[in-house]
Amino acid sequence: MSDEPQDRRVDRRSFLARMGALGAAAALGTPFAASGSGHFDRTGLRGSSPEGAREFWQGVRRTLPASVDSPAELTASEAAVLIREGTLDPVELVEACLDRIGRWDDRYLAFNTVLAEEARASARALNSEGDDAGLLRGIPLAVKDNYYTEGVLTTANSHIFRDFRPEWDAEAVRRLRSAGGIVIGKTQMGPLATTRALTPDGKITTVNAWTPANPSVSPGGSSSGSATAVAARMASSSIGTQTGGSITVPALAQGLTGLKPTMGRVSLRGVIPLTYSRDHPGPIARDARDAALLLQVMAGPDPADPRTLGLPPVPDYLTAATPRGDQEDEPIRWPTRLGVLPGWADGDDPAASGRRAFLREMEAAGVRMVEVTPSEQWDELSSSLMNAVRLPERTEPFLEYLREDVRLFGVSLNSWMQGLFLSADEYLKGQRARHALLASTLDEIFGHCDAVVQTGHVPFDMIGLPLLALPTGHRPTEDGPRPHGILLGAPPFGEERLLSIAAAWQTRTEHHRVRPPVLDELREARLLPPAGASRGRLSAEDVAERSQ
């Protein structure tokens, strides 16, 4: 196990010089490519040392809840510990999740497809495999409906894919299953990964698990169903994709820990593309430990996705997410400088109080605060203007469908059409701006710190750097308490650093353990609208405006 995280061992100057060549090579990658990489350690321990894994499981064991109403209330790591110890049967865990889906998902509408029988069969099969079944043995996972799943509908909530049953699993899904994970269902999403979960024609589907009686409160998009499934304890953990905030926004909206890894860290083969150069697969989890567990399994090179090749080896995320147990007063794993933007913690609202509490606790945990002030040029380079450069990348792979019938795009059509009207010189201008933004980020921000607080996801989405969202508290609303949280960014391959900070925070606080209201109680109190009642709709203009 390394004594320092990977972000300290990267040569940034040579990487800046090399980016152009990698960009050209990676352009060959296509999610429509054929299957078959086979390079995977089925234990899911790639990058994790036996010592790191042991320390991780010991840490989880120490903080197990004294009792739970249902195994579905356990985090993925907690359930995994109990399964490894033989005190929880994977079948029991799967049944607990299916029971909740059966009772509640007519209100949450988190799932497009529930794989009840397949999940039961997988759980039963794992019981005969013993301890060799991998890191995620028996863990029920919700998978966003833009990941290919063999023989299972993969719709991306779009007319285009309404009958699409892939013949193979996306590489990320294949790895999760190989490590013993059980896909319990495919989750609702924004049509083609654009905005909050909707039908292709714009009707609101998934609700926020914190406000199931009020569909106007966004569950966060576009990985809405994955977040609601986990927040409502219908799956132990989940995966989403992020092109413009689609992991971190739903995580923040629903009190979860979402991690968008560095571009290339997780294969995109078998993910329906939205923007080749900005799509990122990653976990939406209950806490940092669960995010580490999933990323440990998902990460690594895939010969069929050149974006994943030639990168630093997969490090030990489990260790990163394990606070130092023997130093309770200083649980941060590595010496860390956290960049704080001027005014970031100012304000009188609960979210600002949460930000200040985070800074206080992190200082107490040994993190050194450093004020960082990005330049005006940094702001320009990461503006909504430069963000628009992503649009031709979404249009190009879908041209045949645009020619076939534009109605296939439903309410998502506008941004696909806009992508046809950016010229090549303007597109190149945007790629040059991304290069400038990255250099500016490394110099103005990460020249002074190891991780940085962020106020939005766009800059780090544009340049493929890792982002982590975590909850910092809850604020009262007329719909009941709703979570708030913060975003942290890191330099290339800084996932360990982000996980170490999140784990230190979550060791000292309980916000990530607070669950949304129990649906049965709302139902008994007659606080829910009738099942099947209209939830409203978004127009094409709404979707284009909110598009990821």
Return the residue of 11, 69, 326, 346 that touches another protein, per CB under 8 A.
Answer: 11
425 binds another protein (CB under 8 A): yes
Nearer of residues 32 and 421 to another protein, judged by Cβ: 421
160 binds another protein (CB under 8 A): no
Locate tokens 């043995």: which residue? 137
Structure tokens at 438: 């990255």
437 binds another protein (CB under 8 A): yes
Nearer of residues 15 and 40 to another protein, judged by Cβ: 15
Return the residue of 1, 33, 125, 399 that touches another protein, per CB under 8 A.
Answer: 399
Nearer of residues 94 and 263 to another protein, judged by Cβ: 263
DSSP letters for 390-438: GHHHHHGGGHHHHHH-GGGGGGGHHHHHHGGGS-HHHHHHHHHHHHHHH
Binding mask 328-367 for another protein (x = CB under 8 A): ---------x------------------------------
411 binds another protein (CB under 8 A): yes
Report the C-alpha gap between 38 and 315 in whole angstroms: 20
Locate tokens 């049509």: which residue? 191
Total residues at the site for another protein (CB under 8 A)? 79
Binding range to another protein, per CB under 8 A, among 10-18, 49-57, 67-75, 177-185: 10-18
Nearest of 541, 8, 516 to residue 212 by alpha carbon = 516
DSSP letters for 436-490: HHHHHIIIIITTT-SEEEES-SHHHHHHT--EEEEEEEEE--TTS-EEEEEEEE-
Least distance (Å) between residue 364 CB and another protein? 22
Pairing relationship of beta strands 337-340 and 237-242 according to DSSP bridges: unpaired
Nearer of residues 80 and 408 to another protein, judged by Cβ: 408
Report the C-alpha gap between 414 and 243 in whole angstroms: 17
* 30 class by beta-carbon count within 10 Å (0-12 exposed, 13-18 middle, 19+ buried): middle
3-state SS, residue 158? coil
- For 364, how many CA atoms within 13 A lie in the half-sphere containing its CB? 13
Beta-carbon contacts of residue 444 (< 8 Å; ≥ 6 apart): 372, 373, 374, 375, 378
- Per CB under 8 A, contacts with another protein among 450-509 are 462-465, 491-493
435 binds another protein (CB under 8 A): yes
176-202: buried (b, 16+ CB within 10 Å) or exposed (e) per residue? bbbbbbbbbbbbbbbbbbbbbbbbbeb
Binding range to another protein, per CB under 8 A, among 87-95, 150-158, 287-295, 407-415: 407-415
Binding range to another protein, per CB under 8 A, among 103-111, 122-130, 288-296, 534-542: 534-542
Task: Report which secondary-structure segment, H or E, holds 184.
Answer: strand 182-187
Least distance (Å) between residue 12 CB and another protein? 6
Nearer of residues 409 and 505 to another protein, judged by Cβ: 409
Contact 185, 235 (CB under 8 A): yes
| 246 tagged catalytic | yes
Least distance (Å) between residue 69 CB and another protein? 42
Task: Report which secondary-structure segment, H or E, holds 381.
Answer: helix 376-381
8-24: buried (b, 16+ CB within 10 Å) or exposed (e) per residue? eeeebeeeeeeeeebee
Nearer of residues 149 and 267 to another protein, judged by Cβ: 267
Return the residue of 61, 120, 429, 535 that touches another protein, per CB under 8 A.
Answer: 429
Least distance (Å) between residue 256 CB and another protein? 24
Return the residue of 3, 14, 476, 533 that touches another protein, per CB under 8 A.
Answer: 14
Least distance (Å) between residue 268 CB and another protein? 11
Binding mask 174-203 for another protein (x = CB under 8 A): --------------------------xxx-
| 37 tagged catalytic | no
- Per CB under 8 A, contacts with another protein among 17-56 are 18-20, 22-24, 26-27
Nearer of residues 140 and 202 to another protein, judged by Cβ: 202
Return the residue of 39, 54, 162, 407 that touches another protein, per CB under 8 A.
Answer: 407
Nearest of 326, 250, 254, 247 to residue 294 by alpha carbon = 247
- Per CB under 8 A, contacts with another protein among 244-303 are 262-264, 276-277
Report the C-alpha gap between 348 and 331 in whole angstroms: 29
Contact 394, 191 (CB under 8 A): no
Structure tokens at 170: 């996306």
- Per CB under 8 A, contacts with another protein among 214-253 are none
12 binds another protein (CB under 8 A): yes
Return the residue of 101, 204, 433, 486 that touches another protein, per CB under 8 A.
Answer: 433
Beta-carbon contacts of residue 407 (< 8 Å; ≥ 6 apart): 159
388 binds another protein (CB under 8 A): yes
Q: Which of 218, 246, 412, 415 is catalytic?
A: 246
3-state SS, residue 529? coil
Least distance (Å) between residue 309 CB and another protein? 9
**Residues assigned a catalytic role:** 144, 222, 246
